[in-house]
Amino acid sequence: MKFLPSVHLPCHPWMAMVILPLLLLLVPLAAAQWSSCSKSDDYKSNSTYVANLSLLSSTLPKKAASSTTLFATSIMGNFPDIVYALTLCRGDSNASACESRVTTAFQDLLRLCPYKKNAAVYYDPCMLKFSNKNFLATTTVNDPLFIVNTKNFTTNADITQRLLFTLINSMAQLAANSLRRFTTSRLDVGSSPTLYCLMQCMPDLIPHDCESCFQDILNSTLEYLGGKQGGRVLGTRCYMRYEMYPFFQGDPKLRIINLAPHVPTINNTTTPATVYPQSQPPDAAPPPEGKVTVQEHNGKVSINNQAATNRPEEYALVWRLEERSSEFTLFDFPEILQATHNFSKENLLGQGGFGPVYKG
């Protein structure tokens, strides 16, 4: 199957915004995360493997941040305690944010997969994997593979399959041939739902291997995500995310205005995947109802959720607000949900004048 590029686009969606004063200091956003831990190959708390992981956790974030592609691999130690590691930050990230996120990923992965020699964690902005086996030598293996989806479209199922096929088919070649193996797009075809998409490969892949990886992403998307309003296919070597609202920084690099005439027969032999039925972590609690209000109060954020949480097309990001104003920082509603773990009880600090106060 040949991937074909598309054309450029500005975007102009309806926007739902939450504004915070710039002086408000928040800890790093607790982004949705999906992790994979080996069932065997444990290490001991005082082992050389732990020492090697500790060295990696202090060097790999800086190595990724100093790379023009925000990508890094590393090998630490000697057999039998050797550790192989790989990390990548999303193509619209910056160096300082990347270093912070990879550092947090190490901390979270050690907590999520204690004493496991093989582990991986995926966030929206970055991923990290380490192992005692040399997975770095195999650029064609994209596991562990996670599929994350949202609720169904009301649109005809055949049309949604064509929408998803058109998205990935149009973007793959452009992403594979870019420096960061990364691109974004907006699909805006007639009366069909507007979709935004992001695709990225590991920058150490040659374009051909990157396109092959995207072919597997396409197969998994059509198998698992057909008819869904949004979703992610997250792998070690490449990944894809699409939504009905813009979720990445900057304008989309492509505008896609024509649907593919049909969806060709797809090879159903896909990489085994772990499927999550929602975009938030599986243990996330539903947010409370009410309206959105945000205020600064002793370094905390007071938020009452909006009843429109199921209207994702109204969620949009104004990413360049800080460039135009020194007074405000803008966060979209999904970010607020992630920052508070979906308004979880663990993040509830108390009651303020504008409603419940949550830690973000």
Rounded to an integer, what distance in angstroms lies between the CA atom of residue 180 and that of residue 201?
A: 8
How distant is the alpha carbon of residue 16 from its chain centre? Answer: 21
Q: Is 161 within the bounds of a domain? A: yes
Domain boundary among 207, 223, 256: 256
In a domain, 17, yes or no: no
194 and 114, same structural domain? Answer: no
Model confidence over 29-65: pLDDT tens digits? 345 689 999 988 899 988 999 999 999 999 999 999 9
Do 150 and 235 fall within a single domain? yes
Boundary-marking domain end, from 210, 237, 256: 256
Residue 201 pLDDT > 90, yes or no? yes
- For residues 199 and 232, membership in a common domain is answered with yes
Smallest Cα–Cα separation from 237: which of 211, 266, 255? Answer: 211
Mean pLDDT, the chain, as a whole number? Answer: 76
User: Which residues share a beta bridge with 264?
Assistant: none
Residue 203, domain extent: 145-256
Residues 6+ apart with CB under 8 A from 150: 228, 229, 230, 231, 243, 278, 279, 312
Q: Kindly state whether residues 127 and 174 are assigned to the same domain.
A: no
Residue 199's closest CA among 184, 216, 180, 215? 184
Q: Is 80 exceeded by the pLDDT of residue 270?
A: no
Q: Are 86 and 72 in contact (CB under 8 A)?
A: yes
Give the pLDDT band (50/70/90) at residue 24: very low
Instruction: Please state the three-class secondary structure of the chain as a single string.
Output: CCCCCCECCCCCCCCECEEEECCCCCCCCCCCEEEEECCCCECCCCCHHHHHHHHHHHHHHHHHHHCCCCEEEEEECCCCCCEEEEEEECCCCCHHHHHHHHHHHHHHHHHHCCCECCEEEEECCEEEEEECCCHHHCCCCCCCEEEEECCECCCCHHHHHHHHHHHHHHHHHHHHCCCCCEEEEEECCCCCCCEEEEEEECCCCCHHHHHHHHHHHHHHHHHHCCCECCEEEECCCEEEEEECCCCCCCCCCEEECCCCCCCCCCCCCCCCEEEECCCCCCCCCCCCCCCCCCCEECCEEECCCCCCCCCHHHECCCCCHHHHCCCEEEECHHHHHHHCCCCCHHHEEEEECCEEEECC
Cα angle at 83 between 114 and 178, to 5 degrees? 105
Packing angle, helices 48-66 and 95-112, rounded to 10 = 160
Query: Do residue 64 and residue 119 come from a single domain?
Result: yes
CA proximity to 84, closest of 128, 150, 22: 128
Residues 189 and 124 occupy one common structural domain: no
pTM for the full model?
0.68
- Please state, in angstroms and rounded to a whole number, the distance separating the CA atoms of residues 126 and 121: 9
Pairing outcome for strands 296-297 and 300-302 = antiparallel
Which of 230, 206, 227, 76 shows the shortest CA–CA distance to 150? 230
Domain CATH number, residue 120: 3.30.430.20
- Measuring CA to CA, how many Å separate 286 from each of 142, 331, 341? 32, 20, 10
pLDDT above 60 (res 131) = yes
Alpha carbon 131 to its chain centroid, in Å, reads: 21
Q: Is the pLDDT of residue 158 over 90?
A: no
Among 20-29, 55-64, 115-124, 213-222, name the one with the lowest average pLDDT: 20-29
> Which tens digit of pLDDT belongs to each residue from 246-256?
999 999 999 99
Q: Residue 96: inside a domain, yes or no?
A: yes
- Both 230 and 160 in one domain: the answer is yes
pLDDT at position 277, please?
72
Residues 6+ apart with CB under 8 A from 131: 38, 83, 84, 85, 117, 118, 119
- The pLDDT tens digits of the residues spanning 74-85 come to 999 999 999 999
- Structural domain contains residue 264: no
97 and 198 part of one domain: no
Count of the separate structural domains present in the chain: 2
Does some domain include residue 169?
yes
Is the link from the previous residue into 144 a cis peptide, with omega within 30 of 0? yes
Residue 349 within any structural domain of the chain: no
Determine, yes or no, domain membership for 163: yes
Which domain-ending residue is among 131, 164, 198?
131
